[in-house]
Structure 1
Amino acid sequence: MAVGLRALILLPLCFPGLQGQNSEAQRRREGGTLYIQCSYARRVAGRDTKYWCLLKDGGCEKIVNTYSEYTRQNKDKRTQISDDITNETVSITMTDLKAEDSGTYFCAYYDYSYGYIPIRTISLNVFKELLMWELDTLSVQCPQIYGTAWCRMGQTMQCTKRQTSSWRSASKSLQDRVSIETNAQRIPIVTMKQLQISDSGVYWCAGGSGLTRTLEVVLSVFKRTQQLSAKVSETISVQCHYKITDYGAVTKAWCKMEGETCNVLATTSSEPSAENSTARDSVRIQDDRQQGIVTVTMQQLQLQDSGVYWCALQEPSALSRMEEVTLSVSRAQPQGRLADTENKSQDTLVGEARCSDSTFIIVTVVLLLLLLLSLVTSTALGVRHYKLLLRTGNREAEDTRDRAQGTAQPGSTGRRESSDSKESGYINLDVQTQPSPEDPLYCNVEPSQAPRNPQCVEYAVIAFNQSPRSTKE
Structure 2
Amino acid sequence: MAMELRALVLLLLCFPGLQGQTPETQRRREGDTLYIQCPYTPETTRQRTKYWCLPLGNKQCQEVVRTYSESIQQSHDGRTKIKDDPTTKTVSVTMADLKAEDSGTYFCALYKSYYDYPRLRTISLNVFKELLQWELDTLTVQCPAGSDAWCRGQADCTGPVRKQTQPSKQSEIKSLQGTVSLQYKAQGALVVTMKNLKARDSGVYWCAQGVERTRKMEVVLSVFKRTQKLSAKESGNVSVQCHYKIADYETVSKAWCKKEEGEMCNVLVTTRPESPAGNSTARKRVRIQDDTRQGIVTVTMEQLQVQDSGVYWCALQGGSGLVRVEEVTLNVSKALPPGGFPGSESQSEEILLGDSCNGNTFVILSVVLLILLLLALLTSIALGVRYYKLLLRTGIREAQDTSDRAEGTAQPGSTGRRESSQDDSKGSAYINLDVKSHPNPEDPLYCNVEPSQAARSPRHVEYAVIAFNPSPRTGRE
Q: TM-score, normalised by structure 1?
A: 0.70
TM-superposed deviation, 1:19: 7.2
TM-superposed deviation, 1:299: 1.3
Query: What is aligned with 1:268?
Result: 271
CA spacing shift, 1:174–1:152, aligned 2, 3 Å? farther
The 5 A counterparts of 1:409-448 are: 411=429, 413=431, 420-421=439-440, 423=442, 425=444, 442-445=463-466
The 5 A counterparts of 1:93-112 are: 93-112=94-113
Query: What is aligned with 1:61?
Result: 62
TM-superposed deviation, 1:140: 1.4
Percent identity among equivalent residues? Answer: 50
1:302 and 2:305 aligned: yes
Q: Quote the Cα distance in structure 2 between the aligned partners of 1:369 and 1:181.
A: 97
After superposition, give the CA deviation of every residue in 1:235-257 in whole Å (9 maximum; x if it has no partner).
22111111122222222111122
CA spacing shift, 1:208–1:422, aligned 2, 3 Å? same
Query: What is aligned with 1:233?
Result: 235
1:453 and 2:467 aligned: no
- Specify the code of the residue in structure 1 equivalent to 2:85: D
Q: Quote the Cα distance in structure 2 between the aligned partners of 1:364 and 1:213.
A: 84
- Specify the code of the residue in structure 1 equivalent to 2:239: S
The 5 A counterparts of 1:62-461 are: 62-66=63-67, 75-112=76-113, 115-145=116-146, 148-153=148-153, 157-163=155-161, 177-260=179-262, 261-275=264-278, 278-333=281-336, 368=382, 372=386, 375=389, 379=393, 383=397, 387=401, 390=405, 394-395=410-411, 399=415, 411=429, 413=431, 420-421=439-440, 423=442, 425=444, 442-445=463-466, 451-453=470-472
Q: Quote the Cα distance in structure 1 between the aligned partners of 2:198 and 2:108.
A: 43
- Specify the code of the residue in structure 2 equivalent to 1:423: E
Q: Quote the Cα distance in structure 2 between the aligned partners of 1:366 and 1:308.
A: 65
Query: What is aligned with 2:32?
Result: 32
- Specify the code of the residue in structure 1 equivalent to 2:89: E
Aligned residues: 408
CA RMSD of aligned residues (A): 4.8
After superposition, give the CA deviation of every residue in 1:120-164 in whole Å (9 maximum; x if it has no partner).
111111111111111111221223336x222221xx632222449
More displaced 10-residue stretch of structure 1: 391-400 or 265-274: 391-400
TM-superposed deviation, 1:279: 3.0
CA spacing shift, 1:55–1:175, aligned 2, 3 Å? farther
- Specify the code of the residue in structure 1 equivalent to 2:41: A
After superposition, give the CA deviation of every residue in 1:46-89 in whole Å (9 maximum; x if it has no partner).
56322211114544222222259xxxx95433222233334333
- Specify the code of the residue in structure 1 equivalent to 2:296: I
More displaced 10-residue stretch of structure 1: 38-47 or 100-109: 38-47
CA contact (8 A) 2:145 2:187 kept: no
Q: Quote the Cα distance in structure 1 between the aligned partners of 2:227 and 2:313.
A: 9
The 5 A counterparts of 1:11-26 are: 18=18, 21-26=21-26
Structure 2 residue runs without a partner (length 5+): 1-15, 164-174, 342-352, 419-427
1:32 aligned counterpart, secondary structure:
coil
Q: Quote the Cα distance in structure 2 between the aligned partners of 1:67 and 1:250.
A: 66
- Specify the code of the residue in structure 2 equivalent to 1:266: V
Structure 1 residue runs without a partner (length 5+): 1-15, 166-172, 403-409, 456-473
Query: What is aligned with 1:13?
Result: none
- Specify the code of the residue in structure 2 equivalent to 1:126: V
CA contact (8 A) 2:199 2:225 kept: yes
Q: Which has more radius of gyration?
A: 1
Q: Quote the Cα distance in structure 1 between the aligned partners of 2:377 and 2:119.
A: 94
TM-superposed deviation, 1:322: 1.3
Q: Quote the Cα distance in structure 2 between the aligned partners of 1:129 and 1:428.
A: 122
Query: What is aligned with 1:4?
Result: none
Query: What is aligned with 2:42?
Result: 42
After superposition, give the CA deviation of every residue in 1:21-46 in whole Å (9 maximum; x if it has no partner).
42111111112222212222223345
TM-superposed deviation, 1:219: 0.9
CA spacing shift, 1:390–1:451, aligned 2, 3 Å? farther
Q: TM-score, normalised by structure 2?
A: 0.70
After superposition, give the CA deviation of every residue in 1:275-311 in whole Å (9 maximum; x if it has no partner).
2554332111111122211111111222222222111
CA spacing shift, 1:105–1:424, aligned 2, 3 Å? closer
Q: Quote the Cα distance in structure 1 between the aligned partners of 2:470 and 2:239.
A: 110
CA contact (8 A) 1:308 1:327 kept: yes
Q: Quote the Cα distance in structure 2 between the aligned partners of 1:362 and 1:74.
A: 81
Q: Quote the Cα distance in structure 2 between the aligned partners of 1:401 and 1:290.
A: 124
CA contact (8 A) 2:202 2:222 kept: yes
Q: Quote the Cα distance in structure 1 between the aligned partners of 2:316 and 2:118.
A: 60
CA spacing shift, 1:440–1:178, aligned 2, 3 Å? same
CA contact (8 A) 1:17 1:119 kept: yes
CA spacing shift, 1:223–1:428, aligned 2, 3 Å? closer
Q: Quote the Cα distance in structure 2 between the aligned partners of 1:396 and 1:48.
A: 124
CA contact (8 A) 1:422 1:454 kept: no
2:248 aligned counterpart, secondary structure:
helix
Query: What is aligned with 1:468?
Result: none
